[in-house]
Structures are given as structure tokens and as C-alpha cells.
């Protein structure tokens, strides 16, 4: 899968060269291209922003350099061109899964007070927000999207690791333990060392239900509406006091 990121600050993306994403790039499973929007500015100062019409605080990203950058990267193809913006649709695990089906994404990092609306109207196909808060720019948000989407690309992470993690099917993930069996007086749940795989699976499912009830009961309501909870799940939740 290919990611192209348009930014005023390419140096912020060093974390994409670490850990799992580094290995995925080395293996050729994903590719990440960084493009400095200033490279398409035409003045000697490489100016990419200007004061807003109508007055007001801050600066606005200029239309011409950004539009030229997008067109140069996209050329004659038509990949989704996504603006990272607090105005966009909320980024969720479901949306990450949807985007992971695409062979190519172009991510545009806004900055300052935003970008010239005319570029938004003519060249941006989708806007995504990673939360109801405002960052200094879209760079951190772009890294979040790349990380969340790339790990769902086949070959980046073992599929079994993704199957039951938080938000994959409407529930939070179950607790994890590793050696030693007892740490500071706290023992690993006996069921996990019993060797009874069926009972372990049952325990994990119940822990997912319990944890979701305690931390995110809103997710349980959605999971029930979407048919993700069976009669055994609902019975166990009733035992825990969930009234739905």
C-alpha cells in the first residue's frame, strides 16, 4: 500500500522510520512518500502561507503551492486525497479498515489557521479528524492515520493479533499477561495456565464484555444494535448488572 504525505514540516515524520512501520517499508508491504509543499512555491522565500482575506488572527496556507503539490503527486491517477482537519469525519477503527482496502492514499497536512477553501473544494476528496480537539497542524494526525491503516494491511502484522483487539468487533480487548506467573504478589489468572483452550477463549470473551461495560458502555449498545452480541454475551452482561 502506498501513502503520500504532503506537509510543510517533513522532519516531523521521523517516527514512521521506526518499529513495525520501518519493517513493513523494508519488506515493500507499504511505502511512505513525504513531500514538502514549499517545494512548489514559486518565490525565493518558498512562501506557502499568507494573511487571511477579511482580517483575523493567524495565517492561511496559500492555494497555488498546495494545489501544485497535490497535482504533481496525484498526476493522472485518482487516489483519495484526504485532508487531516478538526472539521473532518471522526477517525475510527472501522474507517481505518475501510481505508486499508485502498491501494494508495494521499494525506494533506493542514497548518496555521487552515488552507485556502478553494483547494478544499476542488482537490480534497475527504476530510478526517482524529478527535474533537485542535493540533498545531495535521502532521501528528497523519501519522496516526498511517499507523492505524498500515497495520491492517496484510503482511504488516499477524492477522491473529488484530482479530480480537479493541474496537475490531465492537468490544475492548481482554487483559494480557506474560512471565513471571507471580509479580509483586499478583498472580496470573489460573485459567490462562490451565491448558484448557476452550475455557481460555470463554474467559477472554467475558473479560472483553466486562471491560467494555466498565469503560465504554456506549460501545455495548452499538454492538447489540449491530448484532455483534449473542445470547451468551447478553446473559453474562445481565449477570454483571447491564440493563442495556
Which residues participate in the annotated binding site for S-adenosyl-L-methionine? 110, 130-135
- For residues 168, 172, 178, 182, the Cα torsion angle rounded to the nearest 10 degrees is -170
- Measured CA to CA, the distance from residue 52 to residue 240 in angstroms comes to 56
Give the residue numbers of the binding site: 110, 130-135
Q: In what order do the strands lie in the sheet with 31-36?
A: 31-36, 2-7, 104-109, 81-90, 126-129
49 DSSP β-pair partners: 61
The crossing angle, in degrees rounded to 10, of helices 217-225 and 197-215 is 110
For residue 49, the surrounding DSSP H or E stretch is: strand 49-50
The crossing angle, in degrees rounded to 10, of helices 19-27 and 139-150 is 60
Assign residue 227 a region (left: φ > 0; alpha: ψ between -120 and 50; beta: otherwise): left
Sign of CA dihedral 107, 113, 119, 122: positive
Amino acid at each position: 500500500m502506498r501513502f503520500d504525505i504532503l506537509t510543510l514540516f517533513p522532519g516531523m515524520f521521523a517516527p514512521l522510520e521506526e518499529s513495525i512501520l520501518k519493517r513493513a517499508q523494508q519488506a515493500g508491504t507499504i511505502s511512505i512518500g513525504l513531500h514538502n509543499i514549499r517545494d512548489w512555491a514559486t518565490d525565493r522565500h518558498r512562501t506557502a502561507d499568507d494573511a487571511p482575506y477579511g482580517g483575523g488572527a493567524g495565517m492561511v496556507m496559500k492555494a497555488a503551492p498546495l494545489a501544485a503539490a497535490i497535482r504533481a503527486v496525484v498526476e493522472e491517477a485518482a487516489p483519495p486525497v484526504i485532508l487531516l482537519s478538526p472539521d473532518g469525519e471522526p477517525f475510527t477503527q472501522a474507517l481505518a479498515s475501510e481505508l486499508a482496502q485502498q491501494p494508495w492514499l494521499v494525506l494533506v497536512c493542514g497548518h496555521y489557521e487552515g488552507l485556502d477553501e478553494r483547494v478544499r473544494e476542488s482537490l480534497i476528496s475527504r476530510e478526517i479528524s482524529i478527535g474533537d480537539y485542535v493540533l498545531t497542524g495535521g502532521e501528528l494526525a497523519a501519522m496516526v492515520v498511517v499507523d492505524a491503516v498500515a497495520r491492517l494491511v496484510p503482511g504488516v502484522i499477524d492477522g491473529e493479533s488484530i482479530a480480537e483487539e479493541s474496537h475490531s468487533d465492537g468490544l475492548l480487548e481482554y487483559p494480557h499477561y506474560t512471565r513471571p506467573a507471580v509479580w509483586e504478589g499478583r498472580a496470573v489468572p489460573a485459567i490462562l495456565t490451565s491448558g484448557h483452550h476452550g475455557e481460555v477463549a470463554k474467559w477472554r470473551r467475558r473479560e472483553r464484555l466486562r471491560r467494555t461495560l466498565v469503560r465504554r458502555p456506549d460501545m455495548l449498545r452499538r454492538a447489540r444494535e449491530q448484532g455483534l452480541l449473542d445470547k451468551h454475551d447478553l446473559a453474562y452482561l445481565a449477570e454483571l448488572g447491564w440493563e442495556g
